[in-house]
Structure formats: structure tokens, C-alpha cells
């Protein structure tokens, strides 16, 4: 019985913790096959000026993010630079 209670406690603890982390970090949203085909046809812009998208993906530059938007991917720029890791601590600033 003690093992069962311990299992329930651990499951509950990690389940609650996972949802708290999930609400604070973007979970990468996959692209559809149609969106990927569209993005492959976008012109390549060679400057590297990374932008973190609201979908959790790192875009090479604003042009790359704009291309994803034109290809019907619902994404907005979150900030310049790299995205925070998905499984970060809720107390970390990202």
C-alpha cells in the first residue's frame, strides 16, 4: 500500500509540475506537409539574425519567420535570439 501511495504522489507531483512548465514555455508546434513544401520554396536570406517564434521554433531571421507566416503557419515573433528550452525550470528567466 505504501508503494501505491508513493506512486500516486510521484505521478501527481510530476503531472502538476509538467503542466506548470508547459504553460510557461512554447511547445514546438509541428508543420504540416503542405506548410513544409511551401517553406522550401521561399527565397533564402543568408543573414543570420535568429528570432524565437511563438511556436517554439528558432527562425534564422525575420524573413524566414515571415515565410512561415505566408505559408499559413500561425506564428509570431516572441523575441530576438534563441528560444528558451521547453523543459526549463519555472523559476528560470528565459
Going by pLDDT thresholds of 50, 70 and 90, the confidence category of residue 83 is confident
Q: What's the confidence (pLDDT) of residue 46?
A: 85
CATH topology of domain 26-80: Wheat Germ Agglutinin (Isolectin 2); domain 1 (3.30.60)
**Helix (H) or strand (E) run with residue 77 in it:** strand 77-80
Angle formed at CA 14 by CA 8 and CA 17, multiple of 5 degrees: 135
Alpha carbon distance 28, 58 (integer Å):
10
Alpha carbon distance 87, 94 (integer Å):
11
Q: What's the confidence (pLDDT) of residue 27?
A: 60
Would the pLDDT of 10 be above 90? Answer: no
Report the chain's mean pLDDT, rounded to a whole number.
73
Q: What's the confidence (pLDDT) of residue 1?
A: 64
Would the pLDDT of 66 be above 80? Answer: yes
Amino acid at each position: 500500500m505504501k508503494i501505491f501511495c508513493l506512486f500516486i504522489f510521484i505521478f501527481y507531483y510530476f503531472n502538476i509540475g509538467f503542466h506548470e512548465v508547459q504553460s510557461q514555455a512554447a511547445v514546438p508546434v509541428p508543420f504540416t506537409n503542405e506548410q513544409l513544401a511551401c517553406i522550401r520554396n521561399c527565397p533564402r536570406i543568408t543573414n543570420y539574425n535568429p528570432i524565437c517564434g511563438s511556436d517554439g521554433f528558432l527562425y534564422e531571421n525575420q524573413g524566414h519567420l515571415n515565410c512561415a507566416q505566408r505559408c499559413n503557419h500561425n506564428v509570431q515573433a516572441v523575441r530576438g535570439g534563441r528560444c528558451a528550452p521547453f523543459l526549463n525550470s519555472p523559476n528560470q528567466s528565459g
